[in-house]
Structure 1
């Protein structure tokens, strides 16, 4: 089968080893399997992952559902189970057809005109219904009545798609002897009492409150799983050598959460009866249902976790314990009985392509692996799959190895939307990534992007927050939608996803000078705030963003001491840490100016040689640390020589400066 590098790069452990492990049936038996959830921000390749799994499992009983299509965002679990049963009940080569008699009987009872307030009358009508023993298509209206029953209970309106679903389900059952179907009441999973009472209980609970209806959903899910277990047992199950598969895209939608909750609850009902169902879902938000169970699944089974964090941190790197990564799959599933180890959830973080994966994708566009383009693209997007997929075709044909700075121009080239309006590639990506945020929230994020840390969202005096909901909900929305990252050097600080922040900063740079929260005004407020709180390096960070190079040089030169003053290893490391913090500052690039010329513009004149060297180093680092600042690496030699020069006569601490210089050789 031909493969698409866009799809497979970075997720091969999932589509390969993990899929094979989950679908296999050792000794022809079912095992207690976890629900696998791929977590990632918009554009992280979640849908592509499920599409790939669907293609690879084309000959197995499987179903693919996208909760953001077909008006299924709020679909009820019982509705969805009917759709899944129809899809899995198709004829599959080698596997035959899977029957769902228990499920259809539950549907039939729910859709029948049974008067649940009078038990005697209800019992008589129910027995009559079962005793009719006629093909189900003749009961089409009775089954279709579930629309009125469920719709009247939930919202007073018919649920979308039920009439069409009824037709499809009946056509899907045309192969089956429906006279046998209504005779399956004795095989229904039951509690204490008569089977008819059990069925009446379903009909009655369906007209109850939210808790009752949730119980009905779990019972119907019980029937669905019981049908699957039966289909994979006995002589009929011997030819079904692999499990069936359900793929749920955008399961963060209310309908997806409700279904997963019903599924997990149903599996808890029968802890000793494993089912042959593999469920792989995707989500771009955190689900509170995972909080306790995920923490127990990882900490109780010795997952390779680096350092503890607050268990209330829940998203991306904020989740504790953090989700597993595709690279962890091999080790996670090599242990004994891994399927039980990770129940009920196995969370995987998607959306961070490695440098090697970007090289693979670039090769599909005839870009040579040794080209500067893949490394540039990886740094620019932080490995965001959607950004790589969108940007690479736009720049691959225009990239010239002799003119690497032309990469900047391509990203700012105007493109025309279908409505004729002008835009740029970066502007379109901004609109796509932030479509879940209100206009007011977007403006707050643009302002907050000036600071390296997301904590700036909590400083109203800097941002002039106009969002009536305040800063807390916006921070939570960022966290729940996986856009926050923990600072690798300080796990008490949070940062915006680098690619999102890069797009927000471009918007901040584009604000007019007279805007109340323009680039200069916001960075000035941030600088003054950090100066007041004695966070000097952070204050100088914002000075550099303002182009105030003298303030930065004065600070760093004072800490460096007069050459050839010596300093030890700890002092050298502290100085380098401050240099790194400050030179990570954002800038307002002039896209058509050569990087070396831009350095000359900012360096200025200095009376002392050390200060001059330091100025060249600081400004060159400042530009080169921005992927768009110096795509061709033309400033590397300047940075290398500056580090070597400053290291002269510094004693033991000079080793660290010389080592840093070698990085830019």
Structure 2
């Protein structure tokens, strides 16, 4: 997929309303703010969101990290805080220069090349470090080296009294000027404990066990937030009218998770509000959200689903990640106490553009809103932002409303002389989060109606040695699952990902042990055996067995049965399920010719009517099957014809026909 900045549509409530609310400082005071995390699978516009926010907030103190660049994915929080502080401490027009004296001292001590086995030598070195009487903010290269030179001896045991020592450090450092560290270590006030020993202890424990390293990270977080709070007090309060902003891209990495966890824990530990807005992105689920947020969110229009162990506080059920459309309602002017559901995290799910959003994006390519192309794009991609952007860029200049079938050719055109075609490039981009071993299983599993089939290894012959649960978790963690409406919600693959996987399944050779025919036959037989007849007919249609689908769908039209409204509702629902079956028909053929070939002539008029309607719907529901909507009149006529003399239920058939007028 293209790597350039993507046009951003449908997110004004986030980039303007939410961001404006977060950076504001009512009455010039800091207030408790959650860490905002924008979630979404690959290509859902997370980086574009940060680009837009960064541009809007260009004149306020802000910093940005991308954890998948510059080897930051596995960095410790203390190193990352140094990078953030460097950017925040630049000279900002109105806000001046934010200072981080506590943090700088921690960094210098951590990286000091002192011999920690010789305490006297180590103290002399520390004295020299802070005696240079230079603004530490100007020594960027030296401070960067600090985090690379952290040395010392491994501790023999755990560090005791860490919270008290941290508090002592922060209170002691408050004696220093906020812009620079001058003088000698003896300027630190004497008292309970020894500040020099404590500072040396930071360098030692940074190379200790996990518990010691986390304690050092906690000290750095305390120092970072304490410096920020102080920077917004005193004489600077009047000109620092907006909060500072930190943007963290791809925070699902190890380094990102550690930093977010350390920041939220430091906030909880201090109990004080700070002037920092944190906006992060993630394409994976973080287990720290399990207790307060639901992982798998329902499809649009589906009833909300939560885990059986839903966490409740004050009678409030914690929700699924919020949609952009929810933001304005969630962040109305706060009452005296902020909504507890949004602390310490506020999760925002990206990834689905509405039809209007797609129209707006296509209009940027000078495509008329009334043309069929935006509708085609939305159906093909299910509103996936990255896919919509790439497809419209590839086909916009080739789109000819008189030749809608040319869209299928455009999608198979190479992006350059040596590169892959667009659909292949899209496949490679979206599947890169999955291991090589799991991809064949994903392709096989895409044949099923829902991911329940993942738990029937005897059907799909899954090859993952760790079991089917791992693949299900992998799909969920990478945010590629949806919950469809049902009494017990059915989890399905994201339509775009499934469409790509089905193309891979269709390309398997006929003698492949898990070819298209063999997999769909296994699925059909499984559903038939378990009494799920409609699902079985779905797979029959995927196998081009039109007769089996028609035989089932004609049952309610028998002479002994009344086609009333409940019967019509049930029949239309079954028709929708069956005709949603995937196909591997030739995409170059004309849609009407395909209908004529596969429907043919039935044994009677009813059989023929149903066959033509079923096949026409089957082809039309595939976005690549009939991008020009040439079968709409065939489908409309089919419903009207079938409705003749059918009793009260015919009303619903006539209504359905009107959709295709």
Shorter-chain TM-score tier: 0.7 to 0.9
Change (3 A) 1:94 1:123: same
Change (3 A) 1:208 1:465: same
Match of 2:519 in 1: 522
1:447 correspondence with 2:447: no
Match of 1:179 in 2: 182
Cα separation, 2, equivalents of 1:312 and 1:66: 34
Match of 2:221 in 1: 221
Cα separation, 2, equivalents of 1:133 and 1:557: 90
Match of 2:616 in 1: 620
Match of 2:563 in 1: 567
Change (3 A) 1:146 1:278: closer
Match of 1:168 in 2: none
Change (3 A) 1:308 1:394: closer
1:336 correspondence with 2:337: no
1:497 correspondence with 2:494: yes
* Residues 451-507 of structure 1 deviation map (CA, whole Å, 9 limit, x = unaligned): 121122222122222222222211111110000111123543110000011111111
* Residues 356-410 of structure 1 deviation map (CA, whole Å, 9 limit, x = unaligned): 1111110111000101000110111000011011110111111111121221121
Match of 1:326 in 2: 324
Worse overlay, 368-377 or 648-657: 648-657
Q: What's the offset of the Cα at 1:653?
A: 2.0
1:289 correspondence with 2:285: no
Q: What's the offset of the Cα at 1:647?
A: 2.0
* Residues 541-568 of structure 1 deviation map (CA, whole Å, 9 limit, x = unaligned): 0100010001111111123324x95222
Change (3 A) 1:183 1:538: farther
Cα separation, 1, equivalents of 2:141 and 2:437: 50
- Mapping 1:254-293, distance limit 5 Å: 254-271=254-271, 273-293=272-292
Q: What's the offset of the Cα at 1:663?
A: 1.5
* Residues 99-124 of structure 1 deviation map (CA, whole Å, 9 limit, x = unaligned): 10000111122223566678x75995
Q: SS state of the match for residue 247, structure 2?
A: strand
* Residues 301-320 of structure 1 deviation map (CA, whole Å, 9 limit, x = unaligned): xxx99534225699xxxx97
Cα separation, 2, equivalents of 1:545 and 1:600: 17
Match of 1:33 in 2: 33
Change (3 A) 1:410 1:123: closer
Q: What's the offset of the Cα at 1:423?
A: 2.5
- Mapping 1:89-488, distance limit 5 Å: 89-112=89-112, 121=120, 125=124, 128=127, 132=131, 134-135=133-134, 144=145, 146-149=147-150, 176-179=179-182, 193-196=193-196, 198-271=198-271, 273-294=272-293, 307-311=304-308, 321-337=319-335, 341=340, 342-416=342-416, 420=418, 423-488=420-485
Q: What's the offset of the Cα at 1:32?
A: 0.7
* Residues 113-171 of structure 1 deviation map (CA, whole Å, 9 limit, x = unaligned): 566678x75995587457746446999989846534369869xxxxxxxxxxxxxxxxx
Q: SS state of the match for residue 63, structure 1?
A: strand
* Residues 220-251 of structure 1 deviation map (CA, whole Å, 9 limit, x = unaligned): 11100100001011112220111111100000
Cα separation, 1, equivalents of 2:324 and 2:186: 47
Q: SS state of the match for residue 36, structure 1?
A: strand
Q: SS state of the match for residue 83, structure 1?
A: helix
Cα separation, 1, equivalents of 2:267 and 2:212: 18
Change (3 A) 1:144 1:412: closer
Q: What's the offset of the Cα at 1:658?
A: 1.9
Change (3 A) 1:364 1:143: closer
Q: Is the 8 A contact 1:537 1:581 kept in 2?
A: yes
Q: Is the 8 A contact 1:5 1:364 kept in 2?
A: no
- Mapping 1:600-639, distance limit 5 Å: 600-639=596-635
Q: SS state of the match for residue 292, structure 1?
A: coil
Question: Gaps (5+ residues) in structure 1?
Answer: 155-174, 299-303
Cα separation, 2, equivalents of 1:184 and 1:95: 30
Match of 1:171 in 2: none
TM-score, structure 2 normalization: 0.88
Change (3 A) 1:249 1:185: farther
Q: What's the offset of the Cα at 1:642?
A: 1.6
1:591 correspondence with 2:587: yes
Aligned residues: 623
Q: SS state of the match for residue 482, structure 2?
A: strand
Cα separation, 2, equivalents of 1:379 and 1:77: 43
Q: SS state of the match for residue 423, structure 1?
A: coil
Change (3 A) 1:143 1:75: closer
* Residues 44-99 of structure 1 deviation map (CA, whole Å, 9 limit, x = unaligned): 00001101111111111111110000111101101001111111011111111011
TM-score, structure 1 normalization: 0.87
Q: Is the 8 A contact 2:294 2:306 kept in 1?
A: no
Question: Gaps (5+ residues) in structure 2?
Answer: 156-177, 312-316
Change (3 A) 1:184 1:283: farther
Cα separation, 1, equivalents of 2:376 and 2:187: 63
Q: What's the offset of the Cα at 1:184?
A: 8.3
Worse overlay, 438-447 or 357-366: 438-447
Change (3 A) 1:85 1:5: closer
Cα separation, 2, equivalents of 1:277 and 1:89: 13
Cα separation, 1, equivalents of 2:609 and 2:144: 82
Q: What's the offset of the Cα at 1:576?
A: 1.2
Q: SS state of the match for residue 278, structure 1?
A: strand
Cα separation, 1, equivalents of 2:608 and 2:304: 42
Match of 1:510 in 2: 507
Worse overlay, 142-151 or 210-219: 142-151
Worse overlay, 224-233 or 334-343: 334-343
Write 1 or 2 for the structure with the bigger share of helix: 1
Change (3 A) 1:294 1:501: closer
Cα separation, 1, equivalents of 2:427 and 2:547: 34
Q: SS state of the match for residue 366, structure 1?
A: coil
Change (3 A) 1:609 1:139: closer
Q: Is the 8 A contact 1:41 1:284 kept in 2?
A: yes
Cα separation, 2, equivalents of 1:151 and 1:621: 71
Cα separation, 2, equivalents of 1:462 and 1:506: 20
Q: What's the offset of the Cα at 1:515?
A: 1.5
Match of 1:161 in 2: none
Cα separation, 2, equivalents of 1:551 and 1:14: 49
Cα separation, 1, equivalents of 2:562 and 2:414: 53
Cα separation, 2, equivalents of 1:305 and 1:603: 34
Q: What's the offset of the Cα at 1:194?
A: 4.9
Two-structure CA RMSD over aligned residues (Å)? 3.1
Q: Is the 8 A contact 1:7 1:48 kept in 2?
A: yes
Q: Is the 8 A contact 1:644 1:657 kept in 2?
A: yes
